[in-house]
Chains A and B, each alone.
Chain A
Amino acid sequence: MESNQNDYHISFFKPTTAQAKWNRNLAIKLILIWAVAVFGFHFLLRAIEKPTPEESYVKYEMVWENILAESASVEEMQIFAHSSLSVIGKVFIKPEYKTALNNAVSWTTFQLADSSQKELLIDKTKEFEKLKEEVTSISDPEYINAKNSLSQVASSILGLQNSDPRILIVSFSLISTEMELFKAENKDMIPTIMSTYLIHNQSFLTDFKFLGFPFHYFYSAIFLLVLFVFLCWLYCYRVDKMNVKLDIDE
């Protein structure tokens, strides 16, 4: 690295000794591997991804026009409610979106109920709403009964199977004051909500499974860390060997 006694210079890209060149080359190789592994992979992931809808979105798209035109069949109304519940069940959604979806589910369920069921549905929803406000523990038997009873009624109206996890959500999505009208502002929000939560960036790298993981997830969460440790080990090992070879005592 030093050209002569009076001119001391260090430059990563212009090494002046064999050892410095070796060190520079090793560093460049390892950093290239590191950069390609981290950023190269993610640029690739970005390049090949395709917006892929969930099944709920595909079904929603088929029925949405008829829902808007208020000409949907019973089955189409059920599909719309199922898709709305699929979004509500996602844990993190914006409060205003949740309000719109609750309105959608409440309105659809009410529309699908026959005249005898309508009264029952409203009564049970009101009872559950009251208990939700009052009870101090979710293990209160009265509260549990009200929840299950409402879930049963709504699930049967909406045609939800016993294995469907949406039956666990439906009681909480029904709002007694939101049943008679699907508000225009909520209707306007539905396409945005559905495309935001039910379409995902997927490719063969996300669909392929490795050790149970979606491959890309395994790559970032597990493999990259292994690679980082390996690169660090390799660097230390190579530098130690070089120091022994050149008899350098640090």
Chain B
Amino acid sequence: MKKFLLPIILLLTPSLLFAAGASTQLEGNFQVGPAIILITILCVFVLVGVVFRAKDTADFYAAGRSISRVGSGMAIASNWMSAASFLGMAALMYGTGYHGLAYVVGWTGGYVLLLILMAGQIRKYGKYTAADFIGDRYYSQGLRAVGAVITILISISYCVGQFGGIGLMFKWILGIDYAIAVIIGGSVVLVYTLISGMLGVTKNMQIQYVIIIVSFLIPLFILTFKFDYFWLLPQIGYGSVVSDIVSGVPITETAQMFNALGHEYAMVPSPEFAMPWDTASGQSFFQWIAIAFSLMIGTAGLPHVIQRFYVVPKARDARWSVVWGLFFISILYWSAPVYAAFGKILSANPEVGKLAKDAIVVYTAQLGNVNPLIVGLLAAGGVSAAFSTVSGLLVAGSSAFAHDLYVKIINPKASPKMQLLMARLGTILMAVIVTLLALKNWALIAQLVAVAFSLAGVTIFPLFLLGIWWSRSNKQGAIAGLIAGLSVAAISLTYFIAGKEGVTLPYHEFVNYWLGAWYFAWIGAPLAILANIIVSKLTPETPLEIRKFLVLNVHS
């Protein structure tokens, strides 16, 4: 069947050529061209998912360990490049300038930690899921269950931002209400994940990476060319755009350049866009550092990222897949700030009005008069980014539910068919919860996603770090570390949710600043590590067989 796939894709491709809409309005109408592009791309995803669908449980969880290094790197990148990367980062930089770069640095710098401290060792440990590792390393079914629940919570938290992004893009393309868009988009990604499983997902991720990166880059060349910057390498060419924003763009110099609404390409000096922790952004030096640090350790503790290392054949492949993955990710991360910079100038005129920051990537392309066909492809790329991540997250979450909770704890004699059924039920349940939370629209996409990173940073990261590198770390220490980390998370998230629901708790300003929902790991992770070390030292040593396994299998 695989040999029929290419012709089918080629047959579908011509529809792209007829898909150009001619809308100059920023939003509100059904956009025919982008809608056709989106549907075409989704059809391709489902087709690929069907062709490479999971045949059994091992396939569903870990793609049969048959993925190459570069392929796995692409899958890591695609899995990683979510709506938060595609839409959210530009949104943050558009709104808060240099502060947004904390997310760029945090989300890439974490891979260095992940590689040096964990990637190879995780593969050598040879487990399918994060909870598997925790249960095994800390010889506790209870901790396995807690690990599974944490994985599910992280996946849900991460997915909320993605569903928000899917909703925004479906809203923009279909011209429908945000709530309906979230429900439609959520349903489509759920069906897709259920059909394809992880094998399909991994193959799809490679295709998705290409679509995401191509759709993201094309408008940048056009924008830099149109507005007379160095366009051969927009990721460098936009340096002058940033400097123009800082010094201001007078009208005379740019008399021939207009945005799609007919406004001159001009703006008053706005150094706050580029200057660090500017008072105008409302963000401080501490917050920059705390966010970058939290995102870095969160990266090294995210279950769906760690899970990618189980699908490569060897530890060496796991390591090199990180290099490839980070390189592929960086291509997008070098590019996202370009949208923020152009968006800043192109939306400077008061007539543009207040734009939804999370859709600034698409608005920038529209305001820059980029061909509607290409803008449609860009929006579809945003949906793809969210899809690729959501499917990986749903698989990680449902694996935790079916494999770690159901099979390992509730029903060890479950047949493979029953396991697959439970995985699919878990996927549906998670998708419903995520949709309900996404409808709340509590924060920007990138901020919602950062919550998942902090949660991973205070729970899974300390368990993996000490579990791999310190054999003295034992069950009691792990429990103490989890209690410490989860307590910090509980305080932070209680204040965050209470604030969003209009409830003012005591010392809310203090807690919201020092334990912000998107960066509480800056203190939570060190506390969890400290608690783990102290309690481990005070309690009996880790059993010999585990220490032996660590020495002979993981570090040999």
Measuring CB to CB, which residues of chain A are less than 8 angstroms from any residue of chain B?
1-2, 6, 8-12, 20, 27, 30-31, 34, 38-39, 42, 45-46, 49, 54-56, 85-86, 89-93, 138-139, 162-169, 172, 195-197, 199-202, 206, 209-214, 216-218, 220-222, 224-226, 228-229, 231-233, 235-236, 239-240, 243, 248, 250
Contacts and interface: CB of A to CB of B under 8 A. Distances in A.
Interface residues of B, number: 87
Contacts, number: 223
| Complex A-B, nearest 10 residue pairs according to Cβ-Cβ distance, in ascending order | A212-B239, A89-B268, A213-B239, A212-B240, A8-B547, A163-B252, A165-B266, A200-B275, A12-B469, A172-B350
Given A10-B469, A30-B116, A165-B251, A221 B319 contact: no
B292 A167 contact: no
A162 B254 CA distance: 12
B275 A206 contact: yes
B323 A201 contact: no
A197 B109 contact: no
A38 B235 CA distance: 20
A106 B261 CA distance: 26
Interface of B: 95, 98, 101, 104-105, 108-109, 111-113, 115-117, 120, 124, 230, 235-240, 242-243, 246, 248-253, 261-264, 266-272, 274-280, 285, 288-289, 292-293, 314-316, 319-320, 322-323, 326-327, 330, 333-334, 337, 344, 347-351, 468-472, 544, 547-548, 550-552, 554-556
A90 B268 contact: yes
A46 B285 contact: yes
Nearest to B471: A10
Main secondary structure, interface of B, reads helix
Contact of A232 (B112, B248, B253): B112
Contacts of B250: 163-165
B272 A200 contact: yes
Main secondary structure, interface of A, reads helix
B268 A85 contact: yes
B277 A214 contact: no
Given A168-B266, A197-B280, A228 B288 contact: no
B268 A166 contact: yes
A218 to B, nearest CB: 6
Contacts of A233: 323
B275 A228 contact: no
B251 A164 contact: yes
Contacts of B249: 165
Contacts of A164: 250-251
Given A212-B239, A232-B112, A92 B289 contact: no
A12 B121 CA distance: 13
B97 to A, nearest CB: 9
Most chain A beta carbons < 10 A, residue from B279, B314, B337? B279
Most chain B beta carbons < 10 A, residue from A1, A220, A232, A250? A232
Contacts of A91: 270, 344, 347-348
A12 B337 CA distance: 38
Contacts of A210: 239
